[in-house]
Structure 1
Amino acid sequence: MSEHIIGRRSFDFEKQIAVMAVVNRTPDSFYDRGRTYEIDAAVSSAVQAAEQGADWVDIGGVPFGRGPAVSSAEELERIVPVIEQVAAASDVVISVDTYRAEVAEAATSAGASVINDTSGFSDPRMAATVAGSWAHVVITHSAGRPREEKPPARYADVVDEVRAFLAERVDRAVEAGIPRENIILDPGHDLDKNTLHTLEITRRLDEIVGLGLPVLAAVSNKDFIGEAIDRPQGERIHGSIAAMMACIERGARIVRMHDVASAVDAARMYEAVVGWREPVRVEHNAQPGGNV
């Protein structure tokens, strides 16, 4: 099934790329370092992303990487007001990046229509909570809970192991009552993986797409890009767009990106090249009236 109603928008993933913007209401995000921590800045960033063409905004209150503990109450205090204000200002899809079931429940009540669980159901209550809300869920591969120190990543075959993990979590989600058509998969670029692992996942992303569900690629500004082309944080936009396009070519249909305007242009250009969308206008060397 390619057509999905998500929140107040409809997507046909046979011929459409959804661009997901990132809004982190955290003081220690790896990318923006707290730029959108203040509530007005977070709401403004989300609304601006929608105006720039983002289909989706992903709101987070706790970074994935290791760092100081953030309680559920504090996470809710960070994200719920943003969800409510963005939902009132725009019809953009709102997802919430959380691994806690109680936060997911409050987020969907506030207006979020997707739970982006970067821990792959580390909270045993998450699947049932999402099922009760009828929200969509992003199931992401990672090893263990976020915010914890982990040993160096080791895989015999990273793609096979990620694919098996995601397939098992899909079964768990369906058994809990989440409709299969409400499930999105994310192989977890860089999450508990080194650069070689993440490049291999990108190279063989079609094997994850082969599970038959929409695939989200969250590649923007990540360390595998910096290590692959030797660019520090803040200088990875071109590498991020290249990685995004590699994922789209291999079947990703949702891309999570920081630089919204560039990502939207690249995605819409891809759609035009493969014939999924008509050009906005046809004037160059065309007959009057835009005829070819």
Structure 2
Amino acid sequence: MNRLQRILQQNRPLIMGVINVTPDSFSDGGYFDTTEKAIEQARRLIQEGADILDIGGESTRPGSLSVGGDEELLRVMPVIEFALSMDIPVSVDTSKPEVMRATIDAGVDLVNDINALRAPGALDVVADSAVMICLMHMQGKPETMQHNPQYSDVVAEVISFLEQRVAAAVSTGIERERIIIDPGFGFGKTFEHNLMLLRGLDRLVSTNFPVLAGLSRKSMLGTITGNAVNDRVHASVAAALLAVGQGARIIRVHDVKATRDAFSVFAAVNRIAPGFLLHL
């Protein structure tokens, strides 16, 4: 059992702090595109109370283009090594098997794959390890996913896709206890699709896999509020609370302190677990 599996046993939602070591991510691209800046951000998010750090070296915003595995590793490895030295669960945000293998060897606790292990060899890399895996739904690819996405029933279709990917993972030797699922807010979905997924998040929770929700600063919040991407903290916190209220276990955020403060209030009112506030 790795560190993430242990803290998932606690009866409380977990906060995953985002570190994009990229020049072009949708919210913070270019802010942390050097090792020094990214490490400083990691230190800040830990101080603010992040339970997990999610470190990525390739933008997956709509219209983004892929980078090579070597370049991705150059970006993320020094930050991952620093985060691991701080004894916090670490996630690598990647879809490349070679990046998965290198970062698993380094000691990451979670592979967070927007492509749900569909790249050739990805299933085997994770199956040959003890790492946890987050399988995310995405219709299309980042460069084209927002070109008129279509669903008959978005919640049912997302669940069906994730069940298929879970079955593929289990058949390769990945234990169910190592699997987290993510509906993929903003990945091949319109504004209405995202709202329907948030309303129906409890249906994903009913699959009995931990659900990760990544709503922080997403365009759906900009549509609702009219705010620019870096002015969506309050909307992001509201969305995080709605997701937790539906049963999401991990909330992926850019603004750790604001989210943690809101979770403290949520815990006090809902009495999530004895000691929850003390932990925060």
TM tier, shorter chain?
over 0.9
Is the deviation greater in 54-63 or in 260-269?
260-269
Verify: 1:79 aligned to 2:76, yes or no: yes
RMSD: 1.7
Could you say which residue in structure 1 is the equivalent of 2:203? 207
Alpha carbons 2:53, 2:83 under 8 Å: kept? no
- Aligned partners of 1:160 and 1:149: how far apart in 2? 19
Alpha carbons 2:145, 2:188 under 8 Å: kept? no
- Structure 2 CA distance for partners of 1:8 and 1:170, relative to 1, 3 Å: closer
- Aligned partners of 2:169 and 2:103: how far apart in 1? 19
Verify: 1:113 aligned to 2:109, yes or no: yes
Q: CA deviation at 1:169?
A: 0.5
- Aligned partners of 1:149 and 1:249: how far apart in 2? 28
- Aligned partners of 1:96 and 1:8: how far apart in 2? 13
TM-score by length of 1: 0.90
- Aligned partners of 2:224 and 2:79: how far apart in 1? 35
1:75-224 equivalent positions in 2, closer than 5 A: 75-88=72-85, 90-148=86-144, 151-224=147-220
Deviation string 1:217-256 (CA, Å, 9 cap, x unpaired) is: 0000000110122222111111111111111000101000
Name structure 1 gaps, 5 residues minimum.
Answer: 282-292
Alpha carbons 2:215, 2:236 under 8 Å: kept? yes
Verify: 1:261 aligned to 2:257, yes or no: yes
Alpha carbons 2:268, 2:277 under 8 Å: kept? no
Could you say which residue in structure 2 is the equivalent of 1:289? none
- Aligned partners of 2:194 and 2:36: how far apart in 1? 35
Q: CA deviation at 1:13?
A: 5.0
- Aligned partners of 2:187 and 2:122: how far apart in 1? 19
Deviation string 1:35-87 (CA, Å, 9 cap, x unpaired) is: 11110111111122111110000000001122344111101111111111221
TM-score by length of 2: 0.93
Q: CA deviation at 1:131?
A: 1.2
1:229-268 equivalent positions in 2, closer than 5 A: 229-268=225-264
Aligned residues: 276
Verify: 1:42 aligned to 2:38, yes or no: yes
SS in 2 for 1:95: strand
Q: CA deviation at 1:187?
A: 0.2
SS in 2 for 1:133: coil
- Aligned partners of 1:227 and 1:62: how far apart in 2? 25
SS in 2 for 1:80: helix
Verify: 1:54 aligned to 2:50, yes or no: yes
User: What amino acid is the match of 2:192?
Assistant: L
Alpha carbons 1:221, 1:237 under 8 Å: kept? yes
SS in 1 for 2:91: strand
- Aligned partners of 1:14 and 1:76: how far apart in 2? 32
Q: CA deviation at 1:280?
A: 5.5
Name structure 2 gaps, 5 residues minimum.
Answer: none
Is the deviation greater in 174-183 or in 66-75?
66-75
Alpha carbons 1:195, 1:228 under 8 Å: kept? no
User: What amino acid is the match of 2:196?
Assistant: E
- Aligned partners of 1:166 and 1:280: how far apart in 2? 33
